[in-house]
């Protein structure tokens, strides 16, 4: 039975780890829509209720033709995926824009505004978002003066997420013979990554105690500090929407600039992403840079910590393009974003060089931030969460009106069409770091991005 919306056929590709996509697909089916799911690896198979979907076992070159056949056979009207920069997702978007531009693209992501929210955007997220590109565009938007939408508080589920992540990666490894030509969008060995998550879970209490001690000593010292918000090494925000080939390059650039240009009484604080399993590796890098640059007493690494408290007491913050930057701006703190990001606007982010930022004191424009926040909330944010049961139920209930509403087609919706980044299939996969292309070409293209 359909509740006030014409029947659609939703094609699901890869989703967030866990059963969220399966639950969303089941709900759409109950409402009278048709749902098609493609599994690319054992983790996808495990998350989608142990199968019940179409398996793609081919290589990257065969994926476009496979996809086009699915579209014709099933009458696909909507493409739903989590993250638009995974090589298989980027190829799907480019293929459908070329051959079936009337299909609607629904991109889900972690929330731009956290916690309690997830992102659903028309046509692309982050650097591909259709949000305004100028401060005036946000100020003039009809949503700028609306009050933020009401929402329910959603509790996190870190243990559930860690366990599901372990199982997801474990099944990618276990079912490798079934999906032997699959190339994962992360660089790590999947079986090894599964046990890294278990190790992280075991070490979590000790890491939290250490982070609390370091944070407390830092704040009690009263020394001015700049907070560096680290992201996940595999984050496509780093690999696609920034000039860096890796997070390590960003860390070295920040530490070197700090050594050369920051006031001598200033402290530099690197804070890891809460889901980062590679924190130890970056902590070792920071220790090595402290010795190399002679800044040992002025640099601190916090693996964990309480983000709101650290932001409240910092002088300013630096990020590539983390969504945590919104939390910094919400407190009207000076922020430098070195990558492409939706909030990287004059009046919100510092527009000068990193070297000049260390003495910058101008707070973010409160009026502009309010306009930005309201537009982002009303256009892109949905109350809920991907991982806890209550959060999933809330998110799905709130997503349905958006998913069933009329959507712009693939050919109309993105500010930066994916086809511009993919002149050919080989070039398209190269742009997103696929192993079919040379590493040097990928790095060169990233550094030439505007």
- Per-residue pLDDT, 446: 25
Q: Is the pLDDT of residue 304 over 90?
A: no
Per-residue model confidence as pLDDT tens digits over 216-230? 999 999 999 999 999
The CATH code of the domain that includes 107 is: 3.40.50
- Per-residue pLDDT, 228: 97
- Per-residue pLDDT, 161: 86
Asked whether residue 1 is assigned to any structural domain, the reply reads no
- Per-residue pLDDT, 442: 25
- Per-residue pLDDT, 57: 96
- Per-residue pLDDT, 210: 85
Asked whether residue 123 is assigned to any structural domain, the reply reads yes
Is residue 373 within 8 A of residue 338, CB to CB? The reply is no
Q: Can you give the residue range of the structural domain that contains 391? A: 9-158+376-447
- Per-residue pLDDT, 418: 41
Q: How confident is the model at residue 420 (pLDDT cuts 50, 70, 90)?
A: very low
Asked whether residue 62 is assigned to any structural domain, the reply reads yes
Instruction: Using DSSP bridges, classify how beta strands 316-319 and 225-229 pair: parallel, antiparallel or unpaired.
Output: parallel
**Percentage, residues of the chain above pLDDT 70:** 84
Task: Provide the domain count of the chain.
Answer: 1
Q: How confident is the model at residue 188 (pLDDT cuts 50, 70, 90)?
A: low
Asked whether residue 197 is assigned to any structural domain, the reply reads no
Asked whether residue 356 is assigned to any structural domain, the reply reads no
Q: How confident is the model at residue 278 (pLDDT cuts 50, 70, 90)?
A: low
Which is higher by pLDDT, 279 or 68?
68
Per-residue model confidence as pLDDT tens digits over 349-398? 999 999 999 999 999 999 999 999 999 999 999 999 999 999 999 999 99
Q: What is the pLDDT of the chain when averaged over all its residues?
A: 86
Q: Is the pLDDT of residue 417 over 50?
A: no
- Per-residue pLDDT, 431: 30
Asked whether residue 442 is assigned to any structural domain, the reply reads yes
Least confident span in 135-144, 180-189, 305-314, 387-396: 180-189
Q: Is the pLDDT of residue 425 over 80?
A: no
Q: How confident is the model at residue 189 (pLDDT cuts 50, 70, 90)?
A: low
Which is higher by pLDDT, 209 or 193?
209
Asked whether residue 281 is assigned to any structural domain, the reply reads no
- Per-residue pLDDT, 448: 27
Least confident span in 157-171, 241-255, 331-345: 157-171
Average pLDDT over residues 204-214: 84
- Per-residue pLDDT, 433: 32
Asked whether residue 428 is assigned to any structural domain, the reply reads yes
């Amino acid at each position: 039975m359909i509740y006030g919306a014409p029947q659609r056929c939703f094609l699901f590709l890869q989703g967030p780890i866990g059963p969220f996509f399966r639950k969303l697909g089941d709900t759409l089916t109950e409402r009278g829509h048709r749902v098609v799911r493609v599994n690319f690896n054992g983790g996808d198979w495990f998350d989608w209720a142990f199968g019940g979907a179409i398996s793609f076992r081919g290589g990257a070159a065969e994926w476009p033709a496979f996809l086009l056949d699915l579209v014709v056979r099933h009458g696909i009207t909507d493409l739903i995926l989590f993250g638009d920069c995974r090589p298989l997702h980027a190829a799907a978007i480019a293929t459908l824009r070329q051959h079936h531009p009337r299909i609607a693209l629904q991109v889900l992501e972690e929330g731009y505004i956290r916690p309690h929210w997830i992102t659903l955007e028309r046509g692309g997220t982050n650097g591909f978002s259709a949000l305004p590109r100028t401060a005036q565009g946000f100020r003039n938007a009809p949503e700028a003066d609306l009050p933020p939408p009401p929402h329910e508080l959603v509790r996190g589920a870190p243990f559930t997420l860690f366990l599901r992540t372990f199982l997801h990666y474990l099944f990618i490894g276990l079912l490798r013979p079934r999906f032997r030509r699959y190339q994962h969008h992360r660089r790590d060995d999947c079986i090894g990554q599964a046990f890294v998550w278990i190790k992280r879970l075991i070490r979590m209490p000790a890491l939290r105690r250490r982070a609390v001690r370091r944070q407390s000593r830092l704040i009690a010292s009263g020394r001015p500090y700049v907070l560096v918000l680290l992201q996940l090494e595999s984050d496509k925000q780093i690999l696609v929407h920034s000039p860096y080939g890796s997070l390590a390059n960003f860390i070295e650039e920040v530490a070197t600039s700090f050594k050369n240009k920051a006031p001598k009484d200033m402290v530099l604080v690197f804070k890891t992403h809460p889901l980062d399993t590679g924190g130890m590796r970056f902590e070792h890098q920071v220790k090595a840079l402290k010795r190399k640059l002679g800044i040992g007493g002025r640099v601190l690494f916090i693996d964990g910590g309480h983000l709101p408290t650290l932001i409240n007491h910092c002088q300013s913050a630096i990020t590539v393009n983390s969504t945590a930057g919104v939390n910094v701006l919400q407190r009207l703190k000076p922020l430098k974003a070195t990558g492409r990001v939706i909030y990287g606007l004059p009046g919100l982010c510092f527009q000068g060089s990193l070297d000049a930022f260390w003495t910058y004191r101008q707070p973010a424009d409160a009026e502009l931030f309010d306009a930005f926040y309201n537009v982002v909330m009303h256009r892109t944010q949905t109350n809920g969460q991907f991982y806890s049961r209550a959060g999933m139920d809330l998110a799905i209930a709130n997503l349905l009106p958006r998913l069933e509403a009329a959507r712009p087609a693939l050919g109309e919706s993105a500010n930066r069409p994916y086809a511009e980044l993919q002149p050919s299939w080989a070039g398209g996969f190269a742009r997103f770091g696929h192993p079919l292309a040379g590493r040097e070409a990928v790095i060169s293209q990233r550094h030439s991005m505007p």
